[in-house]
Structure 1
């Protein structure tokens, strides 16, 4: 005894110095789960981020069910509130049992077990604990009892205790095996949890037997009739130990949470409450519910996937990110906000904005919606409208609002695929191929782009042609977005005015279209080839919303267009966003004038479109627009002279087996009072000129009769020197 006292006197100061406080243990505890929070502080998603163990949140003792606390004391330490760390009565009973080889309850108290959890030096190994370890554990338990309250000891024990497999702590155990929080465990569940303390990885039958014993003691402690049947306990044990009721991720923003986690700084500490982000919880719920509700209405049309994103116009912050339709999808892990899909007609607003900026067109300019055959390097490109019909001569306003394909392709011929491709890249669209790969089909959205980047490009239109990248996912108190002027404010305003014009879009969508809202919005729909992708993207005064509907597998939908698939979802989200926030039309951009215009057809008394007030960039306005066929001279000297063929960036290949005189290229302009030059040499005069090409890179120039440059186009001729013509060929 004297030796024990001496060892105790020597070791106690060391043990006391090494033991942490309850607050230190609580502060150092880390869950295997990370909470991704909304801008309001609400939990959007719980995400498992520790793959080694499974820990839940720290559970205060007051939040543990009374049944579990009692079951733990009955099973592990019946005199917990009576001893001071070491239960000497239990130690004596254990020693006596060992002497007579009889089985008794272990002498290790809850406090001693906690000491082993706090310091591995006192933790039992596979071969058991030595005398020194047992003594150290007893001393540590004594010191814990002196420095900690009983409730703190029991609370820490419940949170640090390893349970079955990878589960650590009562929160992880109760959620995984029973699908509920620790405060909801009943007597049977509490008995199973207590039984797992002694043998976390024991067989089901052994755990069931121990749980039965604990449950019977619980019944007896509450003065209930003894002899209770354990059949229900055994059945429940078998069911619970097979259960995995705690998914790795849970919430309303799974794809967003994964994006936030991947974008984090690995060296930065994760706040205990979670990572606060830009998402608004009410807006996220609005987008999720709208997407799922409308997709259920489309069941039977072979469509199961969708995505939606909401951006704040001013800051560029993401307010909602819905990557999939959830349980409605067979590929819910695929993030539709970042998936590469064909945007269809949703690229047209940027094309017309560029044509307006270059002053090739005005909103009232007439375009020919008729059958077109455009020569390309791979053959003839013959665009078609969605309804396979042609409208004849239409204004730019109607062509864009009604989403006519052929006028868009004719506009791209003016702008050129290279120039349009460059502008799309400036608007943040990460196109995978070069302009030559897409050709004229780029006007109809043949290039694949993610919904996020497309929506952010529309946000540039909402901001008067100013582009900025989407803001970082984590909320930051730093300044506003940094904008770059990509399109002029005037072109952005006119395009927005067209996309908000219900009358102009009525040719295709009707006057009662779902796209029409009670407040100001501008919107464009799109459908890709074979109805594989369906889009609706647009903005109000404060928000830009993008919606995609389709199938992650790439399968075609059945009779689902932009107005029936994505548009109702877009409109639903917009109505919810602006329920309490009015949306007003943007202020008129400086440098714009409004002019009354008339549209005159070749047939007397017939009008192409009703007269209206139209917006023009200053200097481009005119009062009348005539159907070009009514002007027989077709030169329209007042029109800006331009090269119609070849287009800028054309690449020609010479065939050495064809005589040179058979390989002449026809140069075509839109006027006849012009001259053609190349490298300072006059090639000819008039609307059409024949030119004998030779290998190299050339710049073709169009000049007026005074020598002033009107237009130019770069082209490249490839191929070896041609063979001389053979006799008889």
Structure 2
């Protein structure tokens, strides 16, 4: 050692004369707490609100590092093997093994064999935490070696031996992309480093010397280590067979990382900037998240014969807006598009937009919950054609209260209200709730009230949460009035009011208070169930990410069972209670046409004790001649809707109906499946009187081969 110092002295003196002290070469190295705090695993682990691991997501594709492991959590066998292999005088020297450095120097000067290194664990660590002291590919210069020596001395002066060894074990490069003993132990051997035995420890210690060395070289070095410890090398062969064969990292039995919220993890990751933390506590609830995944997959598995494979779930806390569950896909076992986050994908929401239509109509005092609305065939001009909405069950219910019309999800009354409000005003209101509809109200026309626009489950569920909070959105904006929003919630929690469509026993019925609305988009491509309780808002979507139609899957058949499972679980032991009636709402006993006497709720100033049909009488409903279609009417065929669903209704005085010279029916109303072309409709009445109307049907040829099971039924 003294001879080596004698050899290095002139060099060190020369550096001092040049104004470069070896100590200066050791740039201000960080302290142990800084190094440990700066350690970043290559994957971010999401924790739920109680600290339960939920999801691991890779954030560094260039290397695989695990969370920092304390020295006491490495097995004694591993610590012994690494020190023996890399620096057997580690616990005795102060950063530099001078005798070892001397032997290495003379051997390298002799030039009679391979280059020998003499870097201690401390010297190697200096290069791992500061690239200025890392070994260049062409080898170190004398100046570089002196800087490494000075850095090691500085580390030894400031760190304890335990801290040095702990940092080294966590930072040392291992095989391939693996960094640190914890990653190598987990990936190659499927073990936590605390459980490594003597053979496994020797193998990993040998890899420290040559991370990517050939199998026989690693095994030979590992065996030498075991022999130094007077251990039998026989146990090495099975360990090497597991860890060192090609593809070992893929086949090793490894503890599966948590994977319960992959889409939410990617959503959060987009909002973070490097460096990423090792763990991140979220607002998710692990139990609820796993239940949502399970309920969705179970429901889709039961519906697999109906051509449905995808789904999504979102659960929000009403008070804070925090996400309690986020399921973006049904998973690879069921879906061909498992990587697509359907919580953030735009789809047609169907009838789930009706609550916003009614809330706006209540607020503008166009109607009250007791108002009678006519559910009868309607033909509305829409651009160059006529829009003829139909109910889901293709039946008409005559005069019904607004309460029943909304709760039972009747389409025609909702469309009439949308026209009264105007599509542009409705478009503005929906976007005020955060739905971010792209095309204008004029683009969608009257169909906007039935959900022809595209929205995300995230936006729709947040909009429902705003209704639950009296019209206050996530950004604190007040949309409409709290009284109108409360009326909508009161109606959609009324199981009796929805009975004409859904019956008294459906998946929409819960033990406690719950507001709920289903929706099905055009051609059964999307199926929704969204609603709120006194504490949570739950949104569920099912369908096919590809856009393919489902077969006979309505809102109550598809999404509602999942919604109900989650609502029941959220309020297990703590039933949901009705929200208090806000100022501006009054109760009133109501009697009148089409409804028995009952208690109804009104906005203050709109209450009525008796409801009549507003002047509409049977006499007023009589027609003179042909009432529909109008002269010169233009209709458009939708090629996506099966022909049995698309019907034109001809109405007028009772008589014989003839179309293009052929008799098609008799009475005051007949229906006809439209066909492209110009047509002449005649109504032949008594006394030889004939009424004539000419109209045109335009559009692509109807796809008559489409199965009836996928018929377009504007949503329930």
- TM more than 0.5: yes
Which has the larger displacement, 402-411 or 448-457? Answer: 402-411
Residue 461 of structure 2 is aligned to residue 451 of structure 1: no
Equivalent position to 1:400, from 396, 406, 431: 406
Q: CA deviation at 1:121?
A: 4.3
Q: Deviations over 1:430-454 (max 9, x none)?
A: 1111111111111211111111111
Inter-partner Cα distance in structure 2 for 1:255 and 1:467: 24
**8 A Cα contact 1:490 1:617, kept in partner:** yes
Inter-partner Cα distance in structure 1 for 2:291 and 2:165: 43
Partner of 2:292: 287
Q: CA deviation at 1:312?
A: 2.1
Q: How does 1:521-560 map to 2 (within 5 A)?
A: 521-560=514-553
Q: CA deviation at 1:65?
A: 2.9
**8 A Cα contact 1:15 1:143, kept in partner:** no
Per the alignment, in what secondary structure is the counterpart of residue 588 of structure 1? coil
Q: CA deviation at 1:138?
A: 3.9
Residue 489 of structure 2 is aligned to residue 496 of structure 1: yes
Q: CA deviation at 1:142?
A: 4.4
**8 A Cα contact 2:202 2:226, kept in partner:** no
Summarize the Cα distance change of 1:67–1:617 in structure 2 as closer, same or farther, 3 Å threshold. same
Summarize the Cα distance change of 1:418–1:146 in structure 2 as closer, same or farther, 3 Å threshold. closer
Equivalent position to 1:46, from 53, 56, 76: 56
Partner of 2:664: none
Summarize the Cα distance change of 1:159–1:395 in structure 2 as closer, same or farther, 3 Å threshold. same
Number of equivalent positions = 615
Q: CA deviation at 1:347?
A: 0.6
Inter-partner Cα distance in structure 2 for 1:421 and 1:291: 31
Residue 390 of structure 2 is aligned to residue 384 of structure 1: yes
Per the alignment, in what secondary structure is the counterpart of residue 438 of structure 1? helix
Q: How does 1:32-43 map to 2 (within 5 A)?
A: 32-43=42-53
Equivalent position to 1:506, from 482, 486, 499: 499
Inter-partner Cα distance in structure 2 for 1:129 and 1:17: 17
Partner of 1:110: 121
Q: How does 1:22-421 map to 2 (within 5 A)?
A: 22-88=32-98, 90-91=100-101, 94=104, 99=110, 101=112, 106-187=117-198, 189-202=200-213, 206=214, 208-217=215-224, 219-220=226-227, 223-225=230-232, 230=237, 233-234=240-241, 236-239=243-246, 241=248, 243=250, 251-264=259-272, 266=273, 272=277, 274-327=279-332, 328-421=334-427
Q: CA deviation at 1:292?
A: 3.0
Partner of 1:566: 559
5+ unaligned residues in a row in structure 1: which ranges? 470-481, 601-607, 636-645, 647-729
Q: Deviations over 1:245-267 (max 9, x none)?
A: 89999533222232223224x49
Q: Deviations over 1:369-392 (max 9, x none)?
A: 222222222312121211222222
Summarize the Cα distance change of 1:615–1:95 in structure 2 as closer, same or farther, 3 Å threshold. closer
Partner of 2:644: none
**8 A Cα contact 1:364 1:396, kept in partner:** yes
**8 A Cα contact 1:116 1:122, kept in partner:** yes
Partner of 1:612: 598
Inter-partner Cα distance in structure 2 for 1:441 and 1:450: 18
Which has the larger displacement, 509-518 or 41-50? Answer: 41-50
Summarize the Cα distance change of 1:214–1:580 in structure 2 as closer, same or farther, 3 Å threshold. farther
Which has the larger displacement, 584-593 or 162-171? Answer: 162-171
Which has the larger displacement, 622-631 or 145-154? Answer: 622-631
Which has the larger displacement, 12-21 or 46-55? Answer: 12-21
Q: CA deviation at 1:7?
A: 6.0
**8 A Cα contact 2:370 2:600, kept in partner:** yes
Q: CA deviation at 1:235?
A: 5.1
Summarize the Cα distance change of 1:240–1:77 in structure 2 as closer, same or farther, 3 Å threshold. farther
Q: CA deviation at 1:532?
A: 1.2
Q: How does 1:567-582 map to 2 (within 5 A)?
A: 567-582=560-575
Equivalent position to 1:593, from 571, 586, 591: 586
Q: CA deviation at 1:37?
A: 4.2
Inter-partner Cα distance in structure 2 for 1:351 and 1:209: 75
Inter-partner Cα distance in structure 2 for 1:280 and 1:573: 12
Summarize the Cα distance change of 1:297–1:187 in structure 2 as closer, same or farther, 3 Å threshold. farther
Inter-partner Cα distance in structure 1 for 2:406 and 2:469: 20
Q: CA deviation at 1:114?
A: 1.9
Q: Deviations over 1:510-535 (max 9, x none)?
A: 21212111111110011111221111
Q: Deviations over 1:191-240 (max 9, x none)?
A: 443333233344xxx1x113312442454356444566736524531155
TM-score (norm 1): 0.76
Q: How does 1:678-693 map to 2 (within 5 A)?
A: none
**8 A Cα contact 2:352 2:517, kept in partner:** yes
Per the alignment, in what secondary structure is the counterpart of residue 435 of structure 2? coil
Per the alignment, in what secondary structure is the counterpart of residue 547 of structure 1? strand
Inter-partner Cα distance in structure 1 for 2:363 and 2:129: 70
Summarize the Cα distance change of 1:564–1:155 in structure 2 as closer, same or farther, 3 Å threshold. same
Q: Deviations over 1:446-487 (max 9, x none)?
A: 111111111121122212233333xxxxxxxxxxxx231x22
**8 A Cα contact 2:26 2:147, kept in partner:** no
Q: Deviations over 1:139-179 (max 9, x none)?
A: 54345444433222211111221223443223333344445
